[in-house]
């Protein structure tokens, strides 16, 4: 049998000088693989004289371990050389100035959502979210809109094929299903806003099949219509930056609130100039009301113990009013000229202290 020491010297010498991971792997196979040299020697142990067998076996086992250890060490060294080479090759000079043409701006929708979150955040609201693809139950039934209800027709719903369990699905037509998802899982008090995408099959200068809404929900034991009025008045004044902005609450109807109110803000159109603030005209901007007891009950909340209010408004609409954007369609055109005109500086993040406007 070949001298173990000579073999060790030969193999470890080869391992230590292997040029790359491929060569190292070839060496491993030729020494320790199924037909490798050490493996073959071990297979041949049966033919060794019985009194030398034990000693030779131990020597071969040691050799095997030593060669494996040498391979591991060499592999670590080769890997680190390869990583250094890669890092050197992919080096980026971060001290180079940014390319001027790559400067982006914040989309008015994003800016408006940041503003909403800032104002309502200051009032103690947190942000909740939900899926765009909703079950018929969350979008309608749980909100007290049963299958035959006429409100279903008014919403121009996009219907989707049912899921595997046969549940009918829709693209959510409003953010109100997130009210249900929240009330099902959170024990009141609840104080959330839900900014997000909504979908209706409608398309013209003032309607887009995809648009954004923000929902608000407050549930506790004492909140009443007066709190709803105060909350929305404070919000509108902060958002539009008009301290004495008048609000008008008109009785209305939503299946999921009772009583319900639509809210108008004061405006004027003198000499062709549109202005938000005390004036001789009104503009509708949101829907609201006290959460219907049946909706609370659907979510496992006892309506004799808990109550609260909800509201919802279109984000494009309030953004257009605040920033004087005349048409809805370019919001989604990704036209850089429009973005440069109506977009916001990336670092002008709205804050209560620094200003919302």
Q: How many CA atoms lie within 13 A of 354 on its CB side?
A: 7
Within 171-210, the residues that bind ligand PHE by CB under 6 A are 174, 176
> Is the CA virtual torsion 116, 121, 122, 123 positive or negative?
positive
Nearer to ligand PHE, 242 or 310 (CB): 310
Nearer to ligand PHE, 28 or 191 (CB): 191
Q: In the complex, which residue's CB is closest to ligand PHE? A: 312
How far apart are CB 189 and ligand PHE at their closest, in Å? 18
Within 120-179, the residues that bind ligand PHE by CB under 6 A are 174, 176
Q: How far is CA 214 from the centre of its chain?
A: 16
Within 297-316, the residues that bind ligand PHE by CB under 6 A are 310-312
Nearer to ligand PHE, 195 or 312 (CB): 312
How far apart are CB 348 and ligand PHE at their closest, in Å? 30
Contact with ligand PHE (CB under 6 A): which of 255, 289, 308, 350?
A: 289
Work out whether 254 is an interface residue with ligand PHE (CB under 6 A): yes
Within 9-38, the residues that bind ligand PHE by CB under 6 A are none
Q: Residue 193 is encoded by which pair of tokens?
A: 């806003």
Span from 8-16, 123-131, 271-279, 284-292 in contact with ligand PHE (CB under 6 A): 284-292
Nearer to ligand PHE, 111 or 139 (CB): 139
Nearer to ligand PHE, 130 or 312 (CB): 312
CA dist., res. 190 & res. 124, Å (int): 10
CA dist., res. 252 & res. 288, Å (int): 9
**DSSP code for 147:** T
How far apart are CB 100 and ligand PHE at their closest, in Å? 42
Q: Residue 259 is encoded by which pair of tokens?
A: 């009583």
**DSSP code for 45:** G
Q: Which residue has the tokens 């989707």?
A: 160
> Is the CA virtual torsion 303, 309, 313, 319 positive or negative?
negative
Question: What is the enclosing helix (H) or strand (E) of 41?
Answer: helix 37-43
Choose among 241, 265, 232: nearest CA to 357: 241
How far apart are CB 310 and ligand PHE at their closest, in Å? 4
Nearer to ligand PHE, 134 or 215 (CB): 215
Q: Give the largest CA-CA distance in the chain.
A: 116
How far apart are CB 151 and ligand PHE at their closest, in Å? 9
Contact with ligand PHE (CB under 6 A): which of 111, 144, 182, 257?
A: 257
CA dist., res. 203 & res. 80, Å (int): 58
Residues in the interface with ligand PHE (CB under 6 A) total 11
How far CA 3 is from CA of 33, 55, 153, 278, 354, in Å, comes to 20, 13, 91, 103, 82
| Interaction site with ligand PHE (CB under 6 A) | 174, 176, 215, 254, 257, 287-289, 310-312
């Amino acid at each position: 049998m070949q001298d173990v020491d000579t073999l060790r010297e030969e193999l470890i010498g080869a391992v230590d000088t292997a040029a790359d991971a491929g060569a190292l792997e070839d060496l491993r196979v030729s020494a320790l693989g199924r037909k490798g040299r050490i493996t073959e020697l071990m297979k041949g142990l049966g033919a060794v004289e019985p009194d030398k067998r034990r000693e030779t076996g131990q020597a071969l086992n040691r050799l095997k371990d030593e060669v494996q250890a040498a391979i591991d060490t060499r592999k670590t060294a080769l890997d680190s050389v390869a990583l250094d080479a890669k890092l050197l090759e992919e080096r980026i000079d971060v001290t180079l100035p940014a390319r001027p043409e790559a400067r982006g701006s914040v989309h008015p929708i994003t800016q408006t959502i940041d503003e909403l979150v800032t104002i309502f955040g200051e009032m103690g609201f947190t942000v909740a979210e939900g899926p765009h693809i909703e079950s018929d139950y969350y979008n309608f039934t749980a909100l007290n809109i049963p299958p035959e209800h006429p409100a279903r027709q008014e919403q121009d719903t996009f219907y989707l094929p049912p899921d595997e369990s046969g549940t009918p699905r829709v693209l959510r037509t409003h953010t109100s299903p997130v009210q249900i998802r929240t009330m099902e899982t959170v024990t009141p008090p609840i104080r959330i806003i839900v900014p997000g995408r909504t979908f209706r099959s409608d398309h013209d200068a003032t309607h887009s099949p995809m648009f954004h809404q923000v929902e608000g929900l407050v549930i506790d034991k004492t909140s009443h219509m007066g709190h709803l009025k105060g909350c929305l008045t404070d919000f509108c004044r902060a958002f539009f930056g008009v301290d004495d902005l008048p609000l008008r609450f008109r009785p209305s109807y939503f299946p999921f609130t009772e009583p319900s109110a639509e809210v108008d803000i004061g405006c004027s159109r003198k000499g062709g100039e549109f202005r938000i603030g005390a004036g001789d005209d009104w503009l509708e901007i949101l829907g609201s009301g006290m959460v219907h007891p049946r909706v609370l009950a659907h979510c496992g909340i006892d309506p004799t113990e808990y109550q609260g209010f909800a509201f919802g408004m279109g984000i494009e609409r309030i953004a257009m009013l605040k920033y004087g954007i005349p048409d809805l369609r370019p919001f989604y055109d990704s036209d850089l000229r429009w973005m440069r005109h109506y977009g916001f500086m990336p670092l002008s993040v709205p804050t209560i202290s620094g200003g919302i406007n």
